[in-house]
Amino acid sequence: MREIEDKKIVEEVSRLCIEANCILGEDVKKAVRSAISQEESPLGKEILQTILNNAEIAEKEMLPICQDTGITVVFVELGADVKIKGSLEEAINEGVRKGYKEGYLRKSVVSCPLRRKNTGDNTPAIIYTRIVSGDRLKIIVMPKGGGSENMSEVKMLTPAAGVEGVKRYVIDRVARSGANPCPPIIVGVGIGGTMEMCALQAKKALLREIGSSHPDPFYDNLERELLVAINNLGIGPQGFGGRTTALSVFISSFPCHIASLPVAVNINCHAARHKEVIL
Amino acid sequence: MANYNLKTPLTEEVVAKLKAGDSCLISGIIYSARDAAHKKLVEAIEKREKLPFDLKGAVIYYVGPCPAKPGYPIGPCGPTTSERMDPYTPFLLARGVKGVIGKGNRTQEVVQALKEHKGVYFAAIGGVAALLAKRVKSYKVIAYEDLGPEAVSEMVVEDFPVIVVNDIYGNDLYEEGVKKYRK
């Protein structure tokens, strides 16, 4: 048994919250740079360049890229041979509290969805814990903005809808989102599982490196087809028209019931933020 | 597509010049309000209470900034999605508001109200909040402090960059732009 102190988790989560919000990933920057050369709309090009300029200011001055510093989604992989001194969930929430205070991040969480009072410290985090083998603890912090999350959806298709039905649904969901989720976007698609597992797959898909290929050639091909179709919608940067609507489409699939074909679309804005640590 | 330097409050004359796709730099006082604040503003008007700011010619910015770091007037402050303000916007336009700044598509009711009451919907670029904060010279919460980042504030801006999406003639940059690049 290896012991990890809760204090260490608090420190790491706090740091990850600040870094994820202030430092745009190299993969996003690279994808935006390459999109500038392919963008046909002059206004679209200008917006993509502005996104890079903003990222530079944010990183230099350690300011959040976007004022919506998100609800904090945390993925944990806990090795079965790790013993946490204290409570894992409390440590994560304490880390969020600390990071959002010390990093001057916006507190964007209400305690009750209907009575809507701000909790004042961005907790609770949305935590998903998986027990894995080994003696390590992996923590991924993913601040998720509301604008793009609001354009996300789960649909229970029937198996007869097949791959064509999935494609139609994903493209339609992006088309209906228009300018709202701050394009260029990253599209996470969950296929299969149960209703809630499908949504979780879509969210996890957003953690992939922008521009990376799916290991399964079937899904790799489907991702590429969807990306072309989405970019042909013409929505473009910020929805003002253009070639760059999405930077990547990522699919995560899961086995499902013989009667079901769930599909989930989780959209991320161009401020696609996530940072991780292995303890 | 023209470029304009605008001073707030906006007049009908100035608003009439603006067309969808124009780039504008706004200077002067603008007011921040998101949906929770809009709800309170509309309730205050209905109860004939005094409002935190004069609506005549006013520009409202849909924003909930980050807290300011020491030495900064404001934290990063990009636009939030406008559709959440759609139920309230026609009501405010009818009472003198001339410009609203946000991002994303509006309902037909809002587009019609912009035409009828001669107001303009501007978009600021979403997700470039650190850069936009450089154009804000001061930030002061003036009402509904209990709403935290959603409080109403008075912001003094200098050359704040926006793009006209919906003008008073019924043009819509989102519609026209997408039509042009759709394959």
- Closest CA relative to residue B150, chosen from B27, B41, B58, B64: B64
Residues of B in contact with A120 (CB under 8 A): 148
Task: Extract the residue ranges of chain A whose pLDDT is less than 70.
Answer: none
Structure-block tokens of residue B30: 């603008």
Report whether A172 contacts A276 (CB < 8 A): no
Best CA proximity match to B58, nearest among B93, B23, B82, B17: B93
Q: Determine the pLDDT at residue B9.
A: 97
Nearest by CB to residue A182, choosing from B126, B130, B173, is: B126
pLDDT at B180: 96
- Distance CA(B163)–CA(A53), nearest Å, equals 18
User: Alpha helix locations (H) across chain A?
Assistant: 6-22, 26-38, 42-61, 88-102, 146-149, 162-177, 195-205, 217-231
Task: Give phi and psi for A131, each to the nearest 5.
Answer: -90, 125
- As for the ipTM of the complex, it is 0.94
Element (H or E) spanning B113, and its range? helix B108-117
Pairwise CA distance, residues A261 & A129, whole Å: 25
DSSP letters, B21-81, are T-EEEEEEEEEE--HHHHHHHHHHHHTTPPPSS--TT-EEE---PPPPPTT-SS---PPPB
B148 confidence band (pLDDT: 50, 70, 90): confident
CA distance A259 to A159: 7
pLDDT of residue A49: 97
* Subunit contact A240:B173, Cβ cutoff 8 A: yes
Contact (Cβ atoms closer than 8 angstroms) between residue B112 and residue B75: no
For residues B16-27, give the mean pLDDT: 97
Predicted local confidence at residue B85, as pLDDT: 97
Report helix angle A88-102 to A6-22, nearest 10: 40
What's the confidence (pLDDT) of residue B127?
95
B38, B103, B117, B135: the catalytic one is B38
Q: What is the pLDDT of residues A12-45, one digit of tens each?
A: 999 999 999 999 999 999 999 999 999 999 999 9
| Measured distance CA(A150)–CA(B82) in Å, rounded | 12
A4, A82 contact by CB (below 8 A): yes
What was the pLDDT predicted at B149? 85
CA–CA distance, A236 with B41 (Å, rounded to integer): 34
Residue B1 pLDDT > 90, yes or no? no
Told to judge if B117 belongs to the known catalytic residues of this protein, a careful annotator would answer no
In this model, does residue B5 exceed pLDDT 90?
Answer: yes
Say if residues A192 and A254 touch (Cβ distance below 8 Å). Answer: yes
| Interface mutation target, options A49, A65, A66, A67, chain B, most CBs of B under 10 Å | A67
Nearest residue, CB atoms, B181 vs list A41, A179, A271: A41
